[in-house]
Structure 1
């Protein structure tokens, strides 16, 4: 009988795990309390980045996942769902507007270059050719041709569709309430729609992973981190890469609760321009804060003064799954046999999803992963904690 795997969460990470395991021949069921890709995934920008990750395990996961994205889409050929991923390997450009920022960016880029990432320094004519509308008042600009973008919901639907074609099942409107254990092992989850049995349970609930894990009796320190994005009306071609200021990497790596903001500007296939980004630890408070949107807009205008007067047609926000050491959590939970985790990607879940699915699948099936999975283990100090503040 095939191993029965229950994936808890139908966001892009859960979809990637389901795809990997179903294609390996396992009997997979995906549960979600809402709908597929309806929460964190639907509120992202679709980043598939190497530019914001310093040398180390997350960068290695990002590079592997970047390759796997292209392989998955190439395998799908011209399928309509592959086209809806809106894969755009447009590259990224990081701009430092101060001397201090330039020094930090130069050091960061040198470390990435030494780790094998393609990094190209742009002079003033080079930056103007790449981004005609970007500010000319800059101290350093670097180009990362490996950065890409997808439409997040389309990308998640593509992965989930592959899982369903391989025999996986999907149940929505099902909330996990607790665990059923036998002999110290989890054998089922109690849900709002009854008990669901399985041999392996994968916690891929994103920002809600901490709460889900606590309900299952094996708490992990995964918390929500709020972010907002502004969306302009469709514009003529204006922004041709993902362009962000050098403060972005610091904001990503910060653990501060208060607002961390930096300019991130990119266009979509529909012609809209996305303006980000912010990071705040406010629990699950989902209120849109005008003062936060104002900071985002102001920083975007410093990069692209031409956006002054461009109408903003909407703003949206969502929650990222934050872990204090800023590394994903991938692997088995040693406290509760049968429970696995695939979470904690914060704002990088879109890009890291397929790599996460591959690493989890390799570990579950007893294969040696392509990269070292040790840094993502569940039983590291940043993840396990005793407390009730989820």
Structure 2
């Protein structure tokens, strides 16, 4: 887009905060607007995954590899303790010899594009409390974790230290010029925020915000539950998940899918996921999902059978039909960029998304993000011959 200076970022989750941080760091005039508190949406419902291990080679893995580097840089700039950034590594385990063969083949494809993936025969050397009889797995030393809300707050605070502003309000429409270009947004508070560019980083509501700004994108909610145990001594060293997690992430099925993901936190609690189901924005607690997740976790780590759950929370992952985020300028409304649809990977992909959005705004590479290298994420991939997004 080239040296756009006045930018409005819609959304103060971790993706919006990362967009604001990078844009402000590049010297752009940034205003962040959200109808609620920082990180109150999907960001507050996530586990903080920074993963390479669950991604097939392609556009998302390319973005994830850049993001992994940028999370380390954010840790150096903002303080790893502030973000609760932990390079704990991931361990993907197979329950059968056949699943182990498939997992090894998947890891080999990732290794070909630069992901560090190490096949492990003695999984109990890495995780002593795993159930007996697991034939093996793959260790991903680059996998990491952050505390999502702390990370979003730190990125936004750093953006404000670089000159960004924060406004409360819900965006209800766009202000456009005579050629249809965006010149600002209108909010429920009656304000009009002028802008030369607007970034739609509204998470699960990205589709609705896009519609209000004249460029709808198909971002849909996918409900997920996470269980939290009582605090324990360190029992789980890595992010540990079963091999079928990868298939569930990529699935487009509407029905309930669960696959075991277990990890410890700095506070001693253990987080257990992950479920996915397409139920719209239904927030109903589903005890059957909680029961299934708990049973799967106990199968993987038997000591959990004697551990108390203290709560279960749920939220919505914003996903696109092709399971890739939408990042970049929308050709239908000059000046509008999307940064949404990350599904369950938004926390991990946030820094690279922010850098890539900033690169589009500047019209040049920024912090390792080159728009020419990430064309597979552009919104025009959904354009039909009639010029409308599918």
SS of alignment partner, residue 84 of structure 1? helix
1:176 deviation in Å? 1.1
SS of alignment partner, residue 83 of structure 2? coil
1:75 deviation in Å? 2.5
Distance 1:355 1:60 in 2: 10
Scaled by the length of structure 1, what TM-score is found?
0.94
1:308 deviation in Å? 0.3
For residue 37 of structure 2, the aligned residue among 11, 35, 38 is 35
Taking a change above 3 Å as real, the CA distance of residues 382 and 266 of structure 1, as seen in their structure-2 partners, is farther
Runs of 5+ consecutive residues of structure 1 not aligned to the other structure: none
Distance 1:33 1:20 in 2: 22
- 1:222, 1:344 within 8 Å by CA — same for their partners in 2? yes
Aligned to 1:250: 247
For residue 193 of structure 1, the aligned residue among 189, 193, 216 is 189
- 1:27, 1:168 within 8 Å by CA — same for their partners in 2? yes
SS of alignment partner, residue 345 of structure 2? helix
Aligned to 2:115: 117
Aligned to 2:77: 75
1:293 deviation in Å? 0.9
Aligned CA-pair RMSD: 1.6
1:309 deviation in Å? 2.1
Is 2:150 the partner of 1:154? yes
| Number of positions where the alignment pairs a residue of Structure 1 with one of Structure 2 | 380
1:385 deviation in Å? 5.8
Deviation above 3 Å: which 4+ runs of structure 1?
368-371, 382-387
For residue 363 of structure 1, the aligned residue among 356, 360, 364 is 360
SS of alignment partner, residue 308 of structure 1? helix
- Mean Cα displacement is larger for which, 68-77 or 159-168? 68-77
SS of alignment partner, residue 331 of structure 2? coil
Taking a change above 3 Å as real, the CA distance of residues 232 and 28 of structure 1, as seen in their structure-2 partners, is same
1:296 deviation in Å? 0.9
SS of alignment partner, residue 151 of structure 2? helix
Aligned to 2:98: 100
Aligned to 1:323: 320
Q: Deviations over 1:344-387 (max 9, x none)?
A: 11111111100111111111101043471100011112899668
Distance 1:143 1:181 in 2: 50
- 1:19, 1:162 within 8 Å by CA — same for their partners in 2? yes
Aligned to 2:170: 175
Aligned to 2:264: 267
Scaled by the length of structure 2, what TM-score is found?
0.94
1:5 deviation in Å? 0.4
Q: Deviations over 1:62-87 (max 9, x none)?
A: 1111011111211335xxxx523111
